[in-house]
Structure 1
Amino acid sequence: MSDLSEQIRPEIDFEALFGALPALFLVLDPEFRIVAVNDAYLDATMTRRAEIVGRDIFAVFPDNPDDPAATGVANLRASLERAARTRRPDSMAVQKYDVARPDGGGFEERYWSPRNVPITDAQGRLAYLVHHVEDVTEFVLLQRQGVRHTAELEEWAGQMQAVILRRSQELHEANRLLRAANDAKNDFLSRVSHELRTPLNAILGFSELLSLSVPEPEHHDWSTMILKAGRHLLVLLDDVLDISRIEGGHLTLEAEAVPVGPLIDEALALIRPIADAAGVHLTPPPRLPADLCVSADRHRLRQVLINLLSNAVKYNHPTGTASVSVGRRPDGILRIRVVDTGRGIPPEAVGRLFTPFERLDAARAGFEGTGLGLALSRHLTLGMGGTLEVSSIPGRGSTFRIDLPVTTGSAREAQVVNAASLEPRTYAAPRTVLYVEDVAENLRLVEQMLARRPSVTLIGAMLAVTGLDLARAHHPDLILLDLHLPDMPGEALLELLRADPVTRDIPVVVLSADATQHHIDALHACGVAAYLTKPIAMRDLLDTLDTLLAAPAAAEPSIAV
């Protein structure tokens, strides 16, 4: 494992940078809910961040009820809708939009020069709307009063224009720095993912082998503990990588008709051992119709349900309950509710609940985690065309609501886990597998895993050129390929294998610690038979081999270049 400290660059505090910008900025989601606001905007509007974040902008800033001619809300809504629809910035004329004084003190007359800028993701979908305003109240009032000091007014206007220009330039530079820092962060996370997955491959792989082979109960328990801790670390690593994918617009979701009942049953079954250990009772919903489906990504919806149920158990009390209920709204939306009887969430903290890395007081209370689960769950739900909301009463518990569209499409049959994968199996004919991998521990691990397939002979190569020579000489039935090789990239070796008539039809399975989606998609486009990310689960590896090698040699599929 390389020294990560040499790769870490000082990170910019994005929140502090945004909060300190002198211009007035408010960030909205596509539903016009406030998701971020800087200090200058709070000062200008006499509001507090905790009171407005997460709320609809028009609920926070209504029209002045004492001004029957007020048009601020209507004009702002029209501008935001234009910017959202056209994906182009929308500048507004000077607007009269009065601001409520704190503590019910009526409204203060204000004039603003607004500009609304849409922010889209990599697929062109609307992600945010940046609402940027200049407070021109003083300027308008001076004009109205017919100030005679024209020279002073012109000088003030010139200074204001200079300030606006300077702030615009500062904002442009800040945006450039933010984009550069975000790119550096995503690159860093990708490297960290690879560096951490490499040792995890050995930790989890050999722990799994030990748990299957040691006869002593105590030793078996030790290996199981190592395996559990390693898998927990892998989940945390996957969460960080998913957040990075979402922020970079690289997370791919595949919508399909997903049966709700079986998916909830599966999530409850996975959480039940944790709930039993914590003394929390799980209550499933009443039996649901078999054809009740929502439009969603099956894997990601399962991930969201497991996350919510895990939290419902983690933040509950012994003898508490965590329940799941399902209801259908008249508008064709299905609502899944996860309710717990736990600690609850203070009202002032609800607005921060879905912020990445925000753990409220969980760390002080001794709960493990990274603060990514709920942020990731909301992003995934929004990406599937749904919503994820919460209501909570401190001391009584919380209710999380997932709303997703009901669909009548045909449900794809869920993949059945092959429980016999880990059992020894002999193929109809001997098979040869070539593994090109420069880490000796990984070679040894795969060798031990393949011992459960005695018909398979494994040949190892620690250099790409050696692997190419062995592939030409032995013409193996399958090639396992690592991508980070010392003499050339694995992608280059794949090109050489595909270009050689002797090796072009040999199936290639990539075993790599690079879990970035764009890299996986690129390798599939090159014709690899499968892409398994390290740490490699023995069941996944053996299932892949069984699929590609169990058939008679004459029936093996060839892979077109």
Structure 2
Amino acid sequence: MTAPWVAVDEYQILFRQAPILMMVLDPDLRIVEATDAYLQATLASRERDIGRPLFEVFPDNPGDPQATGVANLRASLRCVLRDRIPDSMAVQRYDVRTPQAGGDHFETRYWSCRNVPVFGPGGQLAYIVHRAEDVTDFVQQPDPDAGTPAAPALADLLHTELVRRSQELQETNQRLRDADASKSAFLSRASHELRTPMNTVLGFAYLLTVAGLQPPHLDHAEMIIKAGRHLLALLDDILDISRIEAGQLAVAMQAVPAGNIVTEAADLVRPLAQVRDVTLHLLPPTERTTIAADPNRLRQILINLLSNAIKYNRPGGTVTVTLTRHGPLVHLTVTDTGRGITPEGLTKLFDPFERLDAPTAGIEGTGLGLTLSQQLTRAMNGTLTVTSTPGHGSRFTVSLPAATATTGEPNPPAANNTAAPATRAYRDPKQILYVEDVAENRLLVQDVLAHRPSITLTTATLGTAALDQAGRHPPDLVLLDLHLPDIPGEEVIRRLRHDPATHHTPIVVVTADATQHTTGRTLAAGANAYLTKPIDIPLLLNTLDSLLDPETG
């Protein structure tokens, strides 16, 4: 039997006749569509009002100097445009206009509304769906004791109080949203300001390590890299926790072979175990087990747990990883023979920056690993639990759902870009335009590109100068910082894509802004790749090879 379906040209009919109050706006807040029910409830007209600006169709009542309908709705829509998430509005009064021969007349109405973003195929915000419910009858319902003289006044008082409380709730929610937006802006700015100098520190330190230095100077350069990466790890953990709290951390759930991910994590911490004289035991699972998880996040959790189990262990101790399945859950357990944790310590173990007695014991760490691991596990629909006996070690268990037939297939492993850069010549000479206002960053990239003698590097410190230069002498590739003194990097991308001379020119963003929101927005604007500072030098070179000389890259 053929499945039922609806013809494409019938969807508009279905939408318009749906028994709900719904309006569709474009990003410029023009009305592009509405259900018949919405038009009827708001006393609007399809022929007269579709295509017009929202607040031109629905102005405030000029006869009510206290009217706040336009201001409240505009604020909600701005939140949707800015944050790209739905926004619910409190019950409020918003009178509707009834055109009459003697001039406009306004009817009192009360509404409960919700505004929802709709995204296009490239991730851009394409529309806003405005869903409304007319609650006028509820707010103005007659009092059952209306026969008493005081009833009308009491009913008016109750109506006024209801609207006032709803307005207070909306204002409180707006303050909370503003505070959250301020925190996000601060973290984004802090990330940029910290990553910018670390790009110079780690970049030149890396070049020193591959330049033939001998001990002890090579050791000193490696210490600089180690300290810098520790600072970046702390920054990344803070940003990840912030994203989780804001509900903005995306996890890519896949069918992950549990044994493989345990082996990968153990291989990464094995050098630490050898230095600390700790033995790793990986007990094989009783069956081939797959977990529904984000492989990168699960690996991050296991590395945190294994690193802690090693650092807090005793010389000659052991760390054991077991893998078991009970019903729909898979349990990954990391057991150590270390000092253990007191009952008091267990109560604050997952608090941010809590390191118990680690500082006095001289154990390195940031105090964020367990906090982040717990929240990442929750984001993947799992739990992280711990039991411990002082003097006899600790046991951490990550419990996650087993993969099912509907779980996504695993992605192929990422290429390893950590090797020292090799010098490579392209088949043809290439020219790169690097748009960057920080002199140290320009010098670093210039030194890095010594490993690609086929490339000629030109630079620009301003976005407008770069656009003029690219228009007159189109480069083979543009390296672009997003934070420029004159215009935003995203505007540079848009103009490059609109100029026929650079429409197809590859654009690689190299920025200190590591936020996911900026990454997605920039790639949607037309960038080919997005690299964050401090620059991963092998990754930068591999990216350039793939875009400039793919057959030999």
Report TM bin, short chain. 0.5 to 0.7
Change (3 A) 1:313 1:419: closer
- Aligned partner (choices 320, 324, 330) of residue 323 of structure 1: 320
Q: 1:320-355 CA distances to partner (integer Å, 9 max, x unpaired)? A: 1112111111x1311111111111111233232222
Distance 2:335 2:220 in 1: 35
- Aligned partner (choices 349, 355, 359) of residue 353 of structure 1: 349
- Give the CA deviation at 1:176: 7.2
What residue number does 1:501 align with? Answer: 500
Change (3 A) 1:288 1:446: farther
Distance 1:173 1:496 in 2: 39
- Paired AA for residue 436 in structure 1: V
Say if 1:421 and 1:542, in contact at 8 Å, map to a contact too. no
Change (3 A) 1:172 1:501: closer
SS at 1:425 equivalent? coil
- Aligned partner (choices 310, 315, 324) of residue 313 of structure 1: 310
- Give the CA deviation at 1:489: 1.0
Q: 1:101-135 CA distances to partner (integer Å, 9 max, x unpaired)? A: xxxxxxxxxxxxxxxxxxxxx99xxxxxxxxxxxx
- Paired AA for residue 316 in structure 2: T
- Paired AA for residue 534 in structure 1: K
Q: How does the TM-score come out when normalised to structure 2?
A: 0.66
- Give the CA deviation at 1:317: 1.3
The aligned runs of 1:111-260 (5 Å cut-off) are: 180-260=178-258
- Give the CA deviation at 1:412: 2.5
- Give the CA deviation at 1:237: 0.8
SS at 1:491 equivalent? helix
* Mapped pair 1:301 → 2:280: no
Q: 1:207-252 CA distances to partner (integer Å, 9 max, x unpaired)? A: 0000000332221111111111111111111001111111111111
What residue number does 1:47 align with? Answer: none
Distance 1:346 1:172 in 2: 45
What residue number does 1:64 align with? Answer: none
Q: What percentage of residue pairs aligned between the two structures are identical?
A: 53
- Calculate the aligned-residue CA RMSD, in Å: 2.7
SS at 1:216 equivalent? coil
Say if 1:324 and 1:336, in contact at 8 Å, map to a contact too. yes
Change (3 A) 1:419 1:204: closer
SS at 2:361 equivalent? coil
Distance 1:200 1:209 in 2: 14
SS at 1:402 equivalent? strand
Distance 2:303 2:436 in 1: 35
Distance 2:336 2:210 in 1: 37
Q: How does the TM-score come out when normalised to structure 1?
A: 0.65
SS at 1:201 equivalent? helix
Q: 1:237-286 CA distances to partner (integer Å, 9 max, x unpaired)? A: 10011111111111111111222222211111111111111222222222
Distance 2:184 2:427 in 1: 46
Distance 1:372 1:169 in 2: 39
- Give the CA deviation at 1:496: 1.0
Say if 2:478 and 2:505, in contact at 8 Å, map to a contact too. yes
SS at 1:302 equivalent? helix
Distance 2:177 2:356 in 1: 28
The aligned runs of 1:345-424 (5 Å cut-off) are: 345-407=341-403, 410-418=409-417, 422-424=421-423
- Paired AA for residue 187 in structure 2: L
Gaps of 5+ in 2: 1-87, 89-116, 119-164
What residue number does 1:14 align with? Answer: none
- Aligned partner (choices 329, 333, 339) of residue 329 of structure 2: 333
Change (3 A) 1:506 1:335: same
Say if 1:356 and 1:372, in contact at 8 Å, map to a contact too. yes
Say if 1:342 and 1:396, in contact at 8 Å, map to a contact too. yes
Q: 1:38-67 CA distances to partner (integer Å, 9 max, x unpaired)? A: xxxxxxxxxxxxxxxxxxxxxxxxxxxxxx
What residue number does 1:263 align with? Answer: 261
- Give the CA deviation at 1:180: 4.8
Which stretch of structure 1 is more off in the superposition, 527-536 or 212-221?
212-221
Say if 2:494 and 2:526, in contact at 8 Å, map to a contact too. no
Change (3 A) 1:314 1:174: farther
Distance 2:167 2:463 in 1: 50
